[in-house]
């Protein structure tokens, strides 16, 4: 499993990147709004993220028609070689994904909540598919079960004839709200988890690690004083 950071906050990205285990970043319009992002600075902001992170950086199109999504996608992809265009799962999004994929532009199909949506995304040439976990939990359904269904369904088929250069599709577990979501997503074989910075920090922690470290430090003090 690889880890992406799900944020538009540059200081979080810089900090997480410095930990040495970050493989990419995902953003969305809400995350950009949360940091007070301005429309005319959006492309520059994505450029700044791409300068911090070598791996894929998802930037979302907010257009609603296939032609506009394709135009948006081309502009976003021109920002940096590691930009991935995030496109919502809808008819216009699928059509745009096919065009972008045929041009060699990688797409992360987002707002995916079902197996049929995921298979359509795969057939339309999406490089990444993002099933959401937490938003199912928000409506009292099991987001992890839904993610598992998508992971298994995609693994049942070979989609390399649909994707750019026959690349393997990667499933991004999205809308991750806890370290346990990450555990379960890893056990079911999701390729990537995109996590908020708060979850990433919790992933590092374990009370037995703290207790063990404390004991090691105390014992080392004894060695120094022996
Ligand atoms: O990047 C999309 C997804 O991760 C959003 O998560 O917490 O807003 O449902 P959330």
Does the annotation mark 86 as catalytic?
yes
Residue range 161-204, pLDDT digits in tens: 998 888 999 999 999 999 999 999 999 999 999 999 999 999 99
Tens digit of pLDDT at every position of the chain (226 positions): 999 999 999 999 999 999 999 999 999 999 999 999 999 999 999 999 999 999 999 999 999 999 999 999 999 999 999 999 999 999 999 999 999 999 999 999 999 999 999 999 999 999 999 999 999 999 999 999 999 999 999 999 999 999 888 899 999 999 999 999 999 999 999 999 999 999 999 999 999 999 999 999 999 999 999 9
Give the contacts of 205 (CB within 8 A, at least 6 positions apart).
none
Q: Which two tokens stand for residue 17?
A: 């990147």
CB of 194 within 6 A of ligand 1: the answer is: yes
Nearest ligand 1 atom, CA 138 = 9
Between the alpha carbon of residue 190 and those of residues 15, 62, 206, 210, the distances in Å are 25, 26, 23, 29
Atom 10 (ligand 1) nearest CA: 175
CATH for 2-225 is 3.20.20.70
CB of 60 within 6 A of ligand 1: the answer is: no
**Nearest CA among 168, 197, 200, 170 for reference residue 182:** 200
Judged on CB neighbours under 10 Å (0-12, 13-18, 19+), 202 is middle
- Count Cβ atoms below 10 Å from residue 38 Cβ, excluding itself: 10
């Amino acid at each position: 499993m690889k880890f992406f950071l799900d944020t538009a906050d540059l200081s979080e990205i810089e900090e997480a990147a410095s930990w040495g285990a970050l493989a990419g970043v995902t953003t969305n319009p809400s995350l950009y709004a949360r940091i007070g992002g301005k429309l005319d600075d959006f492309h520059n902001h994505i450029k700044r993220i791409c300068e911090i992170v070598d791996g894929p950086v998802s930037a979302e199109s907010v257009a609603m028609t296939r032609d506009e999504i394709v135009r948006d996608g081309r502009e976003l992809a021109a920002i940096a070689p590691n930009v991935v265009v995030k496109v919502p799962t809808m008819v216009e999004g699928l059509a745009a994904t096919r065009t972008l994929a045929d041009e060699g532009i990688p797409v992360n199909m987002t707002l995916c909540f079902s197996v049929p949506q995921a298979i359509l995304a795969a057939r339309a040439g999406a490089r990444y598919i993002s099933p959401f976990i937490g938003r199912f939990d928000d409506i009292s359904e099991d987001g992890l079960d839904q993610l598992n269904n998508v992971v298994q369904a995609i693994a049942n088929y070979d989609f390399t004839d649909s994707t750019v250069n026959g690349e393997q599709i990667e499933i991004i577990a999205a809308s991750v709200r806890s370290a346990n979501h990450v555990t379960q997503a890893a056990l079911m074989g999701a390729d990537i988890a995109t996590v908020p910075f708060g979850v990433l920090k919790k992933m590092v922690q374990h009370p037995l690690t703290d207790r063990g470290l404390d004991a090691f430090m105390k014992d080392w003090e004894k060695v120094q004083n022996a």
